[in-house]
Structure 1
């Protein structure tokens, strides 16, 4: 695969959620996005996705920032906080509504689950109950985006061609939730556009969300970034590694072990002489030699808790 991502300025980003400390799965995404940005002299931005206020854990954002610093990451510009951008999200949502693309929905999640004709990998498919107007006696709860009866197709730089028929896979999807919070799908598109992000590098668990985000970009007449989804680090139970499975240690002496493990997880052959190198040196190596063609598609199990103690085996 040609690693020339175009002649325009490359802007990558890492966007963790402060719902707990940084864990190995998030570190993999950080390493991949950072190395790809620096590989071609691009900028690397940091966004704190604290949009879902009820799930935010106090102090988690500061802990994540400290962990990234210990690992040698250097980001460009100031950290962007989603929780401070409600006015911007409302502005774009109003623009979409003014063009007839957004409608009020009075359905609860339980009702959607009960009435959906089927549920796929992306959850229950909204059946269009309120698409033509709120039924009598209904009050507006969420705001949804109308989707077309056609497929969205894109080429992921790891997974290849991906196609999703929005109407049959997700249906009209939520842009503002019943609790008043703006939906992730809306916020991430606006943030990426406003920051000039040219390539989105993130975990494969978000591959199914990408067609919705591409469609939103198209609705707004914005340039669609390139997408590259990375394999997931799985816990011993086969589920996506999450904060409940363990967190990244803040010990600077172990950070190099974790970085090398993340690079190897992404298929990068770290030279033996760098196995015990300081974090900044490992990142410099990754920024110079990271090869997209070596990234595996398959997610796989790992035990990040053992990395600092027992070495990097089985990656």
Structure 2
């Protein structure tokens, strides 16, 4: 059975980019008669904004993105992470890393927005410095492949694109990659739908799933929503929150961004009718990736016009 999920971080309200991911994952799950779960990635409490949990859930409900089962909170899964930390420390080649961000930049090369870790701490003593993380020593080469439902087969060598990546913080808190695959495993997630900016994360997670013996997820990466400067729409870039009062027009714009060609009369329908149409007419093959920033600007601008 298809089991999908939407896993926002409660660091603020949802924006248009978040909605596109939610709509895409919802439609892909429901069109295949699958379940759609909500997980709130609140493990990093420093990023959590008070009230964001309930705000996100209320917004999804108002947009007719109805989930199955109870929402899952990462902050309540710590017993799972503790079990796996003890297990993996015994079974994997993991080493302490004392590198600060400055040290990583000094000894590494940049791959897009991410530094390729050089393995500095594998060959340098760290006894007199505080441990900042624990990294997994990857095999060389470290080939990994995923068969994306829209983009097709994607193959990479993580030694060249990432380097040894972090598994734990000094206090034992799992990295995003480890926590994500463990949560997906225990929730029975079969399909992960996310933005294509997380493609490298997906490759890391697919490799990590294989290394520790978990079933690989199937992936669908969606076009990235960008602002007029060409940057990814995000909370860090001060993206405007979506508004419950504009649910219908914003859903219409999200479907348009995903190249689903909703009929114009759908724009004024209620959110439930819009999402029923979206599920019945969902086509992964229609998704277009080139020029997605142009479509995003049109969609966002259109939504704001409705608000004036």
* TM-score normalised by the chain length of structure 2: 0.92
Between 126-135 and 102-111, the greater mean CA deviation after superposition: 126-135
Q: Cα deviation per residue 1:9-58 (whole Å; 9 max; x = unaligned)?
A: 00010011111111000000000000110001100000001122111111
Partner-residue secondary structure (3-state), 1:16 = coil
In the alignment, the residues of structure 2 paired with residue 305 and residue 125 of structure 1 have an alpha-carbon distance, to the nearest angstrom, of 34
- Measured after TM superposition, the shift of residue 308 of structure 1 is 3.9
Match of 2:183 among 186, 191, 207: 191
Q: Which runs of 5+ in 2 are unaligned?
A: none
Residue pair 1:106, 1:134 contacting (<8 A) in 2 also: no
Matches within 5 A, 1:266-281: 266-281=258-273
Aligned to 2:44: 52
Matches within 5 A, 1:106-117: 106-116=98-108
In the alignment, the residues of structure 2 paired with residue 99 and residue 309 of structure 1 have an alpha-carbon distance, to the nearest angstrom, of 53
Partner-residue secondary structure (3-state), 1:32 = helix
In the alignment, the residues of structure 1 paired with residue 176 and residue 165 of structure 2 have an alpha-carbon distance, to the nearest angstrom, of 11
Aligned to 2:248: 256
Between 179-188 and 204-213, the greater mean CA deviation after superposition: 179-188
Q: Cα deviation per residue 1:111-137 (whole Å; 9 max; x = unaligned)?
A: 122122x22125222222233684442
Question: Does 2:96 match 1:101?
Answer: no
Question: Does 2:232 match 1:240?
Answer: yes
Aligned to 2:121: 130
Aligned to 1:152: 144
Question: Does 2:82 match 1:90?
Answer: yes
Match of 2:206 among 207, 210, 214: 214
Match of 1:300 among 265, 268, 293: 293
- Measured after TM superposition, the shift of residue 226 of structure 1 is 0.6
Q: Cα deviation per residue 1:96-116 (whole Å; 9 max; x = unaligned)?
A: 111133222222222122122
Residue pair 1:122, 1:208 contacting (<8 A) in 2 also: no
Give the 4+ runs in structure 1 shifted more than 4 A: none
Question: Does 2:34 match 1:39?
Answer: no
Residue pair 1:205, 1:232 contacting (<8 A) in 2 also: yes
Residue pair 1:105, 1:134 contacting (<8 A) in 2 also: no
* TM-score normalised by the chain length of structure 1: 0.90
Residue pair 2:167, 2:174 contacting (<8 A) in 1 also: yes
- Measured after TM superposition, the shift of residue 311 of structure 1 is 5.7
In the alignment, the residues of structure 1 paired with residue 122 and residue 87 of structure 2 have an alpha-carbon distance, to the nearest angstrom, of 18
Aligned to 2:131: 140
Aligned to 1:4: none
Residue pair 1:154, 1:162 contacting (<8 A) in 2 also: yes
Q: 1:88 to 1:178 in 2, by over 3 A?
A: same
